[in-house]
Amino acid sequence: MNARTGSSGFTLVELMVTVAIVALLLKFVGWGLAGVTSYEDVRMAARGLETAVQEAKTLAYEKGAVHSLIFLSTGRGYRLFRDDNANDNHTESSDGNCRRESDEPWLRSVELSSRISMSFLNSLPKNDDNQTCLAFGSDGRLMKGQGGTVTFTATGKFEAQASVSINSMGWAHVD
């Protein structure tokens, strides 16, 4: 058989080397983007809590009923409910106590990614079950007037943090 002369094209070895180089470059780009996605994950979780706080304030004001956010003891989420049993006259122990009865509806339930955890830097109030919580009265303010900071942390090779500051009036801000 005669060898073809003047043929154009790539040999199999040249193609394999090119594919290997492209694969290495993509791997390096992926490592660089992992830190960016961790940062975006915690920012999105912080923005979600900021939205939930605003929703609780708004619903409490609009519906004229106490609305409470309870943070899961695992540090992996939070839940919003309407406290139908609270009288909101600030004179009874049931006012804004962040205790959900079985007949009170969950309005929002948020579970965080397994790569993200929450911690509480300042002393947010706790209910009788020792759960961290925020209760908003019918005027849209925190019932106990005690705010704090919730920090979201991405775990793994690339760590990132974002915080939500909640002031005594119940306004939330992502830092």
pLDDT winner (highest mean) among 39-53, 121-135, 138-152: 39-53
The C-alpha angle 56, 57, 62, rounded to 5 degrees, equals 100
Of residues 137, 81, 136, the one with CA closest to residue 109: 81
Count of positions (residues) in the chain:
175
Contact 119, 88 (CB under 8 A): no
DSSP label at 144? S
pLDDT tens digits, 26-44: 776 665 555 567 888 899 9
What pLDDT, on the 0 to 100 scale, is given for residue 95? 54
- CA–CA gap between residue 49 and residue 3 (Å, rounded): 70
In whole angstroms, give the CA distance from residue 53 to residue 59: 10
CATH number, domain 12-174: 3.55.40.10
Q: What is the structure's pLDDT at 35?
A: 56
Q: Is 122 exposed, middle or buried (0-12, 13-18, 19+ CB in 10 A)?
A: exposed
Give the residue extent of every domain in the chain. 12-174
CB 98 within 8 A of CB 68: yes
pTM for this one? 0.75
Q: Tens digits of per-residue pLDDT, 40-87?
A: 889 999 999 999 999 999 999 998 889 999 999 888 899 999 987 765
